Amino acid sequence: MEKDSKTTVAVERTTFTKLDRLAKANNVSKMEFLTHAINYFEKYGINPV
């Protein structure tokens, strides 16, 4: 997959609201927030479910 290739992820409205709030609080886009969160989970072996 190309580095700049993007896709859409469907989430519930409540999850979207939380993501939007977290991204704004950290001055990043929602995409950037999710990218950093996933990298953090992988780096530290955290299973968030």
9-23, pLDDT tens digit by residue? 999 999 999 999 999
Q: Structurally, how many domains does the chain consist of?
A: 1
Q: What range defines the domain where residue 28 resides?
A: 13-44
Residue 38 placed within a domain: yes
Whether residue 2 is contained in a domain is answered as no
- Please tell me the pTM assigned to this model: 0.84
Per-residue pLDDT, 47: 95
pLDDT of 1 strictly over 90: no
Q: Is residue 4 a part of any domain in this protein?
A: no
- Contact criterion met (CB below 8 Å) for 41 and 48: yes
- Is 31 a member of any domain? yes
Q: For a pLDDT cut of 90, what percent of the chain falls above it?
A: 90
Asked whether residue 25 is domain-assigned, the answer is yes
**Cα atoms in the Cβ-side hemisphere of radius 13 Å centred on 47:** 1
Could you tell me if residue 34 is inside a domain?
Answer: yes
Q: pLDDT category, 32, cuts 50, 70, 90?
A: very high
In a domain, 23, yes or no: yes
